[in-house]
Amino acid sequence: MKITVHHLERSRSHRVLWMLEELGLPYELVEYRRDPQTMRAPAALKKVHPLGKSPVIDVDGVVFAESGAILEQLVDVADGALRPEPGTEAHRRYRFFLHYAEGSLMPPLLVSLITSQLRGKKVPFLVRPIGKAIAAQIDGAFTNAELQSNVAFLEAELASRPFLAGDELTAADVQMSYPVWALLSRSNASAPNLRAYYERLKARPAYVRAIERGGPIEIDA
């Protein structure tokens, strides 16, 4: 089996590299650089998938896109590794967090990224006060409360177990790693359980290997 990862620097595709490292599956890496002005993915990625986004993997000539779908495909390739036994409470949690990561948690984080850019130095000086006012209104009406709600939810979920599905790492933790990093980066909450959880993820040898191979995930707002 030949697996090729089309990896965009400083992006969510780090999760795919980490997953492959956890599973011990060999893969080839094709790296792409962001446009230094727009920070968008290069047009070359559209030759791999019409949406031109990363991550994308090629498994024996079949292309898979979307992080969650890719991780599920890799779980299948690895005969169910990093997936709890179906019918268990751990599996219910696993399925929920696999979809919660992008379905509920990432949208307010994306809004937070946009409002931070409205406050940034790239906004023309004369309109910067307007940008800051708009950002403050959006955050006050939506973003701040959403982020606080998600922090409180995850704090409670992690109060009694080391990983989101239970006692063992699953693909759901891999999927959650990027939004958890973004949430902690954009929240001032103490969130001791969530921060300890993220430290556990970063300490895993496979996570470290993924960073070494694909580079860091941080993106300057």
Residue found under tokens 């970063």: 202
* Fold of the 89-204 domain: Glutathione S-transferase Yfyf (Class Pi); Chain A, domain 2 (1.20.1050)
Residue found under tokens 């191979």: 213
Under 8 Å between Cβ of 32 and 42: yes
Residue found under tokens 């290069």: 42
Determine the pLDDT at residue 220. Answer: 43
Question: Measured between alpha carbons, how far is 9 from 48 in angstroms, rounded to an integer?
Answer: 16
Question: Measured between alpha carbons, how far is 173 from 98 in angstroms, rounded to an integer?
Answer: 8
Residue 146: count of CB within 10 angstroms of its CB = 17
Determine the pLDDT at residue 121. Answer: 77
Q: Name the residue ranges covered by the structural domains of the chain.
A: 3-83, 89-204
Determine the pLDDT at residue 221. Answer: 33
Residue 219: count of CB within 10 angstroms of its CB = 13
| Residues with pLDDT less than 70, the chain | 219-221
Model confidence, pTM = 0.93
The pLDDT tens digits of the residues spanning 61-102 come to: 999 999 999 999 999 999 999 999 999 999 999 999 999 999
Rounded to 5°, angle at Cα 149 from 87 and 129: 140
Question: Measured between alpha carbons, how far is 74 from 32 in angstroms, rounded to an integer?
Answer: 22
Nearest alpha-carbon partner for 20 in 51, 55, 61, 50: 55
Query: 3-83 maps to which CATH number?
Result: 3.40.30.10
Under 8 Å between Cβ of 141 and 63: no
Label the pairing between strands 28-32 and 3-8.
parallel
